[in-house]
Amino acid sequence: MEILWFLMALVLLGTVLATVLRPYLRGRRDGIRLVSPDAPDAADPAAYDFLLQEQLDVRMPGPDPDLVDVLDVVRGTQNWRAASQLLAGTGAEGERRWQRVQAFAGAASLELQQQPGGTGGAGAGAQWLRSWRTEAPKDAGGAAVQAEFLVQQAFRTSTPGTDEFRIILEEARAACGQAALLAPGDPIPYVVELTIARGLGYPRTEFEQLWLKILDRAPAHMGAHLAALHYWCEKWHGSRELAYSFAEAAAARAPQGSLLSALPLFAVYEHMSEITLVSDFHNTGVVRDAVEGALYAVHSARPDDPMTAHVRHLLVFFLVQAERWGEAMAQLVRVDGHVGALPWTMSADPAADYAVYRALAVAGYEANGGSPATLPR
C-alpha cells in the first residue's frame, strides 16, 4: 500500500510546484523562500553554466552530434540517403540505433504535422521518408523508420480505440514484419511492435511471444524494457503488481553495466497518478529502493550508453522531490542542455518544467552550503 500513498503525494507536490513555485522560479523572486528561511533569493542556475531555458534541446535526452547533423541534412535537402547511411553504420544490438530510428520517425511526423497533405503515408511534409521507402524498399533502416513513424502518427493524430487508430497500427504492424524480414537479427522491429501491442491490446500470450523474440536478440535492451513496461502498466493488460514484478525481475537479472537496475524507478513513475498522500513519501521503501537502484545503474553504466541520460533525467525529478539537492545537482551537470526525456516530455512545455526542477535543485543546494565551486563535475 505504501506505493499508493506515495503517488498521491507526488500529485499534490506537483500541483504546488505548478501553482506556487513556477512563477517564482521563472523570474518573479518576490521573497518566497523555497527551502528554509536561510535560502538565498538569488540562486542562479547560470552560475553553474546551465543553458538558458530557451536554449534547451527538447528533441533528445542527451547529445548525439552525428544524428543532429544528419537530421539537418535530411530536412534541408529532403534526401534520405544520409539517414540510411547513419543507421547502416549504427550497431543493431545497441540502444543508439533505437534512439536514432525514433528520432528520424519523429522528424518525419513533425514535418507532416507542419506541412500536411500528399499521399503515400508520408505526405507533403516528409517526402524524404516516402522517397526512402519507394527508392530503397529493401533498406531495413527505412522499413524500421516507417514502422515507428506510423506508430507515432497513430498516437498523435487519432484516438485510441477508434477504427482510424487501429488501421494505422495494423499498417505499422505490417511494416514491422517487413523490417524484421530485412534484418533478422535486429531487435528494433520487435521493439516498435511492443508499442503496437499496447495500442492494439495484444493478449498476454501474444505479447509474451513477441517479448521472447526480443530477449533472443537483445536481452538487456533498456528501450525494449521501457516499452514493455508501458504494456504492463496499461490497466487492461495487467495489474500494477504485474508491472512492478516485471521491473523488479529485470533489475534482478541485470548484467554488470546494464541500466536495467533503474527500471523499478520508471515503474514508480508510471503509476504516480494512483498514489495517495503519506508523510515523508520519498523515504518509503519502494521509492527509496527504486532511487538507489537507479543511482547504482548510472554509476555502473558504460559512459557511452545513450540510455543513461533517460535515467538521469528521471533521477532529477525524484531527487529534487526528496530534497537530495547535491545528488540532484550531480545529475543535472551531466544532462543539462537536453530535455527530451521523461518526465519533461509529458509536459506541454518540457523545457519550462525542467527549468523549474533545476532551479529548485540550485536553490536547495546553495541553501545547504553548496556553490559552483563545490559541485563535482
Per residue in 196-232, pLDDT (tens digit) is 999 999 999 999 999 999 999 999 999 999 999 999 9
Write out pLDDT tens, residues 104-116.
Answer: 999 999 898 887 7
Residues 6+ apart with CB under 8 A from 56: 337, 338, 339, 350, 351, 354, 355
Does residue 354 lie within any of the structural domains?
yes
> In this predicted model, which residue has the larger pLDDT, 17 or 58?
58
Task: Kindly state whether residues 43 and 86 are assigned to the same domain.
Answer: no
Check which CATH number belongs to the domain holding 108 and give it.
1.25.40
Residue where a domain stops, chosen among 224, 255, 287? 224
Query: 158 has which bridge partners?
Result: none
Torsion of CA 96, 203, 209, 343, to 10 degrees: 20
Write out pLDDT tens, residues 150-199.
Answer: 999 999 999 999 999 999 999 999 999 999 999 998 999 999 999 999 99
> In the predicted model, is pLDDT for residue 369 greater than 60?
yes
Query: 338 has which bridge partners?
Result: 57
> In this predicted model, which residue has the larger pLDDT, 62 or 272?
62
pLDDT at 286: 83
> In the predicted model, is pLDDT for residue 11 greater than 50?
no
Question: Cis ω on the peptide bond leading into residue 343 (within 30° of 0)?
Answer: yes
> In the predicted model, is pLDDT for residue 117 greater than 70?
no
Torsion of CA 264, 265, 268, 270, to 10 degrees: -100
pLDDT at 284: 77
Our count of domains for the chain comes to 2
Task: Kindly state whether residues 339 and 196 are assigned to the same domain.
Answer: no
User: Considering the chain, what percentage of its residues have pLDDT values greater than 90?
Assistant: 67
pLDDT at 275: 56
Supply the mean pLDDT for the chain: 84
Does residue 246 lie within any of the structural domains?
no
Residue at grid coordinates 500541483: 15
pLDDT at 158: 92
Task: Kindly state whether residues 124 and 217 are assigned to the same domain.
Answer: yes
Task: Kindly state whether residues 85 and 212 are assigned to the same domain.
Answer: yes
Does residue 152 lie within any of the structural domains?
yes
Residue where a domain stops, chosen among 224, 255, 288? 224
Does residue 309 lie within any of the structural domains?
yes
Q: What is d(CA 181, CA 138) in angstroms, rounded to the nearest whole number? A: 9
Residues 6+ apart with CB under 8 A from 232: 238, 242, 243, 246
pLDDT at 68: 93
Residue where a domain stops, chosen among 164, 195, 224? 224
pLDDT at 22: 40
Task: Kindly state whether residues 125 and 217 are assigned to the same domain.
Answer: yes
Task: Kindly state whether residues 285 and 340 are assigned to the same domain.
Answer: yes
Q: What is d(CA 88, CA 375) in angstroms, rounded to the nearest whole number? A: 40
Does residue 58 lie within any of the structural domains?
yes
Write out pLDDT tens, residues 65-74.
Answer: 999 999 999 9
Does residue 279 lie within any of the structural domains?
yes
One-letter amino acid of 28: R
Does residue 73 lie within any of the structural domains?
yes
Q: Quick check: 255 and 220 in contact, CB under 8 A?
A: yes
103 is written with which cell numbers? 528520432
Task: Kindly state whether residues 216 and 317 are assigned to the same domain.
Answer: no
> In the predicted model, is pLDDT for residue 83 greater than 70?
yes
Task: Kindly state whether residues 213 and 330 are assigned to the same domain.
Answer: no
Write out pLDDT tens, residues 123-134.
Answer: 466 899 999 999
pLDDT at 59: 85
DSSP type of residue 121:
T
Expressed as residue numbers, the domain containing 173 is 64-224
Nearest to 59 by CA among 116, 130, 98, 110: 110
> In the predicted model, is pLDDT for residue 237 greater than 70?
no
> In the predicted model, is pLDDT for residue 239 greater than 90?
no
pLDDT at 277: 52
Does residue 195 lie within any of the structural domains?
yes
Task: Kindly state whether residues 74 and 208 are assigned to the same domain.
Answer: yes
Write out pLDDT tens, residues 301-343.
Answer: 988 899 999 999 999 999 999 999 999 999 999 999 999 999 9
pLDDT at 280: 67
pLDDT at 23: 37
Q: For 195-222, give one letter per residue: b (16+ CB within 10 A) or e.
A: bbbbbbebeeeebeebbeebeebbebbb
pLDDT at 94: 78
User: Considering the chain, what percentage of its residues have pLDDT values greater than 70?
Assistant: 82
Task: Kindly state whether residues 308 and 360 are assigned to the same domain.
Answer: yes
> In the predicted model, is pLDDT for residue 26 greater than 70?
no
Residue at grid coordinates 518544467: 353
> In the predicted model, is pLDDT for residue 27 greater than 70?
no
Task: Kindly state whether residues 44 and 83 are assigned to the same domain.
Answer: no
> In the predicted model, is pLDDT for residue 234 greater than 80?
no
Task: Kindly state whether residues 4 and 86 are assigned to the same domain.
Answer: no
Write out pLDDT tens, residues 46-58.
Answer: 899 999 999 999 8
Count CB-CB contacts under 10 A for residue 72.
11
> In the predicted model, is pLDDT for residue 14 greater than 60?
no
